[in-house]
Structure 1
Amino acid sequence: MSAAGLTGSFSKSIVSSGESQYWHAMSSPHRIALLFNANKVYDRQVIAGIGQYLKSTRVEWDLFMEEDFRCRTLGIRHWRGDGIIADFDDPTVAETLADVPIPVVAVGGSYADASHYPPKTPYVATDNTKLVRLAYDHLIEQGLQRFAFYGLPPTPGNRWAQEREDAFCRMIATDKLEGVVYRGSSTSAGGWGRAQEDMAEWVRSLPKPIGIIAVTDARARQLLQSCVVADIPVPEQIAVVGIDNDPIAQLLCRIALTSVTQGAEDMGHSAAQLLHKMLHGHIAPDTRIIVPPLGINVQASSLHEPMKSPHVMRAKHYIRQYACLGIKVEQVADYVGISRTLLEEHFKRELKQTVHQTILEYKLETARSMLADTDIPLADVAVRSGFTSLQYMYAVFRREFNCTPRQFAEKARSQERAMH
């Protein structure tokens, strides 16, 4: 990619006919516009897939991307470029590009009704039905029999969300199971307090235990927050699965979030390949590529564990949120509302371990997850996992795993490489 093509203003790309001829005489790369909202993890992954295609094929394109995504359609109809790859989930983008005279590849969500795809435009889609299917099947595997879907209020820009909601409803109807849909409110600072209260009231009203599929990780994070507000144990009473596998959402969740990973980079790769072929006249205008999800990243939020003791359930809910903040057994007992001795009896009867051992398990689980990222210093791993010092974390790892944290991480990476 040429650095000269990365510009933040369409005015630099709008040229006179004479200037355009001069440009083509002096430069061979095609000029391609990428119309995406780079504030979203999904869009960034699609863009990354486009970049991977260019690197793997050595195709040279001068790429235009708007610095402010809100302005991405301004002037585009007058742009004298060679091709466009665009997010057609945004109806404004789809309408603006409906009759532009240069090759366009659309990227967006899949539709159960094929007539909803844009006519005469090659289209690369994430498979909305399979995204929901992966989440739904995972919750069924956890032994759950009640299900809910947390979506978005319908708007022209949320057609993909409606498709996922419809897919959920079809699955529930086919299996003759209980299903509930909740759309909530659009996210805004002014209305967030009321929206969270409404959501907390909704989760309190649900029959339990229940598995909930959130339309995105952002909505899943809101749902987990509402479960904390409503004092409802996750995943013992409500198991949650999101969609996107967004690392930012993971960082902001107190409870590690299970999430379906979209094949967004594969979508970007396919879109770039389609446009490359279109630029040379080798692709049909009604081509459609539906990209399945890559898999599901299973974390604590969906691992439903039916428990007999409500005291253990409440205690684990508290531990899951605060284990890495250095909590003591007495604080857990205070939260549950019983004596430490009685709580220990419940733990030994149901989990065959002490409260302290359960707290330590969560701290070690957090540390092991962080050790997978070699960019995180070991001292930070220790602090963020709730250990009082790096030396103490070393001592615990030697006692529990007979190795140092660094050796544990290296062994885990070696095993992962062997599997692939």
Structure 2
Amino acid sequence: MPTAREECLRFLSGVGAFQSSFERWNCVLDNDAHSVREPKWLFQNKLDGIICHNRNPVVLNECLKRGIPCIDINDETPAIPGIPKIRPDNAAIGQTGGEYLMDRGFRNFGFCGFNSESWSQERMSGFREAVQLVRHDSAELETGYTLNESELLIEVQDDWAAEQEKHIIDWIASLPKPVGIMACNDLRAVQVVTACLQLNLSIPNDVAVLGANDEESRCDLCNPSVSSVPVNAFYWGQVAAKSLSSLMNGESLDFCEKLIEPLEVVTRKSTDVLAVPDKHIAQAMKLIREKACEGLRVEDLLEAIPVSRSYLEKRFRKYFGKSPQMEIRSTQISQIKRLLIETDLTLSQIAEQTGFSQSEYMGVVFRRVTGEPPGTFRAKMKMNT
């Protein structure tokens, strides 16, 4: 596993959290793919199980030959029979990005990805599906992306960045503005930001830019800082560790491939905007984001904004594809999810902090929206099942 990537470090933290609570493992970490070049180096150890991120199948095939339980977590190569695969739900990452940009009021959309990577194409497909559901189209740009022989780092040739930038500049210049663009990952998002600055476009007013994977250092070092859809890497690591433990204990798994859903978008300066020309509707959305978890009602919006209910409903649906009440609920649910994952607050305390008078009613609403009770969601995310 390439520990230079922040996502991989969060994954390893999840593995560590599982083993500290449930197992007493002695782990060997191969963070430079030495085992891919020299499999004998890895298998000279007496191994009871392996988690493998690398896209080269040599380690996986050796595990099959030797009967060593193995979990494949690479999201580029297809699953190998006999080796369970656990990877991010890339289509859901794209859908999350599309829905997020629509919630910002954008009506023009673009996706910038890599044509040689299936994970990028899955994210593009999810993004496209999300915006087409509300009858919008997405402009798309894909160019090349290669890895070096260790298959851990991008192979950056002298003219690679310049060629990428030229393609992206020409593409962005052709798009109607304002436009919300999702990039397949944060590296690509930074390239989109650079291209926009070369065109003297305002970010986020002319172009809002959203990345994926939430590499915090890369996102924060960019100016403006880049918003991103995070992979739920900590939970991913927990699931992989628990699955490997089951295999090592002689148990069978009830899946061949498991997909890990993303977390909520981390908003930074590159998308901190509402692309809505109607000042009353923009004000309504601002109030919802600020006060939804204080028990805000549609009636409260109408008291604060000088428009009729029918005007508010129609215009809100026009720009966001949903009613004000649905947006209030969506904002509350997002906050409930965050508190369930990041805190140990009771359901009564969470209800109080998110605008519900009773935890029972919060549970009913949460289940109606997400399909599961809050307690089940928390257990799933914290691996307390």
Q: What is the TM-score when the length of structure 1 is the normalising length? A: 0.58
The question of 1:63 aligning with 2:27 is answered yes
Output the amino acid matched with 1:47.
Answer: L
Q: Is this contact kept in 1: 2:246–2:253, CA < 8 A?
A: no
Within 5 Å, which residues of 2 pair with 1:248-259? 248-259=217-228
Where does residue 95 of structure 2 map in the other structure?
133
The question of 1:280 aligning with 2:239 is answered no
Once the 2 structures are TM-superposed, how far is the Cα of residue 292 of structure 1 from its aligned partner?
Answer: 1.2
Where does residue 52 of structure 1 map in the other structure?
17
Where does residue 148 of structure 1 map in the other structure?
110
Q: Is this contact kept in 2: 1:88–1:94, CA < 8 A?
A: no
The question of 1:180 aligning with 2:145 is answered no
- Which among 89, 105, 108 is matched to residue 74 of structure 2? 108
Where does residue 5 of structure 2 map in the other structure?
40
Change (3 A) 1:100 1:286: farther
Once the 2 structures are TM-superposed, how far is the Cα of residue 48 of structure 1 from its aligned partner?
Answer: 1.5
Where does residue 27 of structure 1 map in the other structure?
none
Query: Could you give the per-residue CA deviations for residues 70-129 of structure 1, whole angstroms, max 9, x where no partner exists?
Result: 654522574441110111655565556554420001213399xxxx43322222221112
Output the amino acid matched with 1:81.
Answer: L
Within 5 Å, which residues of 2 pair with 1:218-257? 218-257=187-226
Once the 2 structures are TM-superposed, how far is the Cα of residue 142 of structure 1 from its aligned partner?
Answer: 1.1
Q: Is this contact kept in 2: 1:120–1:286, CA < 8 A?
A: no
Q: Is this contact kept in 1: 2:79–2:257, CA < 8 A?
A: no
Measure, in 2, the Cα distance between the counterparts of 1:73 and 1:245: 30
Where does residue 122 of structure 2 map in the other structure?
163
Output the amino acid matched with 1:102.
Answer: I
Q: Is this contact kept in 2: 1:73–1:96, CA < 8 A?
A: no
Q: Is this contact kept in 2: 1:110–1:125, CA < 8 A?
A: no
Deviates more, 1:59-68 or 1:268-277: 59-68
Output the amino acid matched with 2:137.
Answer: E
Within 5 Å, which residues of 2 pair with 1:20-419? 36-57=1-22, 59-69=23-33, 72=36, 74-75=38-39, 78-79=43-44, 80-87=46-53, 89-90=55-56, 94=60, 97=63, 99-109=65-75, 116-154=78-116, 158-186=117-145, 188-191=156-159, 192-284=161-253, 286-306=255-275
Query: Could you give the per-residue CA deviations for residues 245-292 of structure 1, whole angstroms, max 9, x where no partner exists?
Result: 111112321112111111111011111111111111122374443221
Q: Secondary structure at the match of 1:145?
A: coil
RMSD over aligned Cα, in angstroms? 2.9
Q: Secondary structure at the match of 1:121?
A: coil
Measure, in 1, the Cα distance between the counterparts of 2:224 and 2:232: 24
Query: Could you give the per-residue CA deviations for residues 193-239 of structure 1, whole angstroms, max 9, x where no partner exists?
Result: 23223322221121211111111111111111111111111111111
Q: Secondary structure at the match of 1:62?
A: coil
Q: Is this contact kept in 2: 1:38–1:69, CA < 8 A?
A: no
Deviates more, 1:98-107 or 1:237-246: 98-107
Q: Is this contact kept in 2: 1:120–1:285, CA < 8 A?
A: no
Query: Could you give the per-residue CA deviations for residues 124-176 of structure 1, whole angstroms, max 9, x where no partner exists?
Result: 2211122111111110011111111111131xxx3222221222233344443
Measure, in 2, the Cα distance between the counterparts of 1:67 and 1:243: 22
Measure, in 1, the Cα distance between the counterparts of 2:104 and 2:112: 19
Q: Secondary structure at the match of 1:151?
A: strand
Change (3 A) 1:171 1:100: farther
Change (3 A) 1:100 1:87: farther
Q: Secondary structure at the match of 1:259?
A: strand
Deviates more, 1:258-267 or 1:192-201: 192-201
Q: Is this contact kept in 2: 1:89–1:160, CA < 8 A?
A: no
Measure, in 1, the Cα distance between the counterparts of 2:191 and 2:231: 20
Output the amino acid matched with 1:105.
Answer: I
Q: Which has the higher contact order (CA 8 A, sep 6+)?
A: 2
Measure, in 1, the Cα distance between the counterparts of 2:64 and 2:134: 40
Change (3 A) 1:143 1:226: same
Measure, in 2, the Cα distance between the counterparts of 1:419 and 1:109: 37
Output the amino acid matched with 1:107.
Answer: I
Q: How many pairs align?
A: 270
Q: Secondary structure at the match of 1:295?
A: coil
Structure 1: segments with no counterpart, 5+ residues: 1-35, 309-415
Q: Is this contact kept in 1: 2:102–2:131, CA < 8 A?
A: no
Q: Which has the larger radius of gyration?
A: 1
